[in-house]
Amino acid sequence: MLELRDVWKGVKVRGKREWQLAGASVVLPPRRRVALLGMNAVNNASVLSILSGIQPPDKGSVRRVGLACWPFGSKDFLDNASTFRQNASFLGRIYGVDATDIAKIAIDLSGIKLRKGLALRRYPVAERRQLALGLTLALQFDWYFINEQLPRVPAARVATIDGVIADRISRGGVVWATTDPEKVAGYCDAGLVLDHGGLTFYDTITEASEVYRSLVETRAGKRT
């Protein structure tokens, strides 16, 4: 379960504070595939960051039951001054998983050949991204977060990575942020609509999509 209580999050735009979340309160049931539907991709990303715990709210509280993963594609959990195996050891201590197992799974999934003693920051960006994804998928979480699309991977590894992601998510829940409901219509089974800083949960993706499209049409009508 994920619960937000009176959560506020703001950013400064041209010297003026704009609220991405304004007193948002919502409960997401466990093991649901939730589409986060919002018209502003930047605001959607901020909501994912708050739900996952990588960014704190300005005010309010967030309650997480179970382990929440950082959003797919994030590399912020890595210590780039340390080696890959040192990062695996750190994650093993935090999550109570054997570091050797974490490293093996991550290396197999990434397809990257390690350089002994080399700090992660010395790897090419693309290789560092694949190693980060491998470490992410080496662990099982209760909540996963996707911003618009699944991580980019080499064509030769797409089927393998997609299969592992599907397996991991099937044993937990997911929040998938998008500005276009059609992208997740065949996957998500519930919806979370972001509008004017508020969040509303809908038990079906159909209802959430209808509400969201109505908001988009209303907003478009005001501009004309």
Q: How many CB atoms lie within 10 A of CB 80?
A: 13
Q: Is the per-residue pLDDT at 12 higher than 90?
A: no
Contact predicate 178/36, CB 8 Å? yes
Q: What pLDDT is attached to residue 223?
A: 66
Rounded Cα gap, residues 37 and 93, in angstroms: 35
SS3 132: helix
Options 3.90.79.10, 3.40.50.300, 3.40.718.10, 3.30.420.40; CATH for 2-69+174-223 is 3.40.50.300
Per-residue pLDDT reduced to its tens digit, 84-98: 999 999 999 999 999
Q: pLDDT confidence of 145, banded at 50, 70, 90? A: very high
Residue 21 has, within 13 A of its CA and on its CB side, a CA count of 29
How do the domains of the chain map onto residue ranges?
Answer: 2-69+174-223, 77-140
User: What DSSP assignment string belongs to 62-131?
Assistant: EEESSPBPPPTT--TTS-TTSBHHHHHHHHHHHHT--HHHHHHHHHHHH-PPP-TT-BGGGS-HHHHHHH
At 15, the pLDDT band (50, 70, 90 cuts) reads confident
* pTM: predicted TM-score of the whole model, two decimal places: 0.92
pLDDT band at 224, cuts 50/70/90? low
pLDDT band of residue 190 (cuts 50, 70, 90) is very high
DSSP characters over 5-25: EEEEEEEEETTEEEEEEEEEE
Residue 200 to residue 214: CA distance in whole angstroms: 14
